[in-house]
Amino acid sequence: MALVERLMGLEETKIPVHDFFAAQQEVAAGFITVAQVKSFLNMDAAAETEYDALIALYPTGTSATAVFNKTTYISRMHAVFLLAESAYPGYDTPAVVRSKLGI
């Protein structure tokens, strides 16, 4: 069960995109951990690997610019998964979604 397919609703158990987005905001703010998100969303090894690849792309740092960049990255990820969830053209295959996210 790869993460992208679960977020797109192509594999069971679907991960609600808004829940995933909320979890990313909480991870970025330091209120929950990546390990907790993996547990909450019942990720298997394939999903964890993809999630780790997304996390590795998070901008780092604590300056105002770094925090803005991290928030912007998470918002873009949310937008991509929302469009993918409804299979809009250009967001309708897992391969295209992975390409847009850089994984």
Per-residue pLDDT of 88-102, as tens digits, reads 999 999 999 999 999
Is pLDDT of 73 > 90?
A: yes
Q: In the predicted model, what is the mean pLDDT of the chain?
A: 95
User: Residue 23 and residue 36: Cα distance in Å, rounded?
Assistant: 9
Is pLDDT of 1 > 90?
A: no
Structural domain count, the chain: 1
Task: Specify the pTM.
Answer: 0.93
> To the nearest whole percent, how much of the chain has pLDDT over 90?
92
User: Residue 22 and residue 40: Cα distance in Å, rounded?
Assistant: 12
DSSP summary character for residue 79 = H
Range of the domain at 17: 3-101
Name the residue among 13, 8, 36 with its Cα closest to residue 24. 36
* Residue given tokens 């609703």 in the structure block: 9
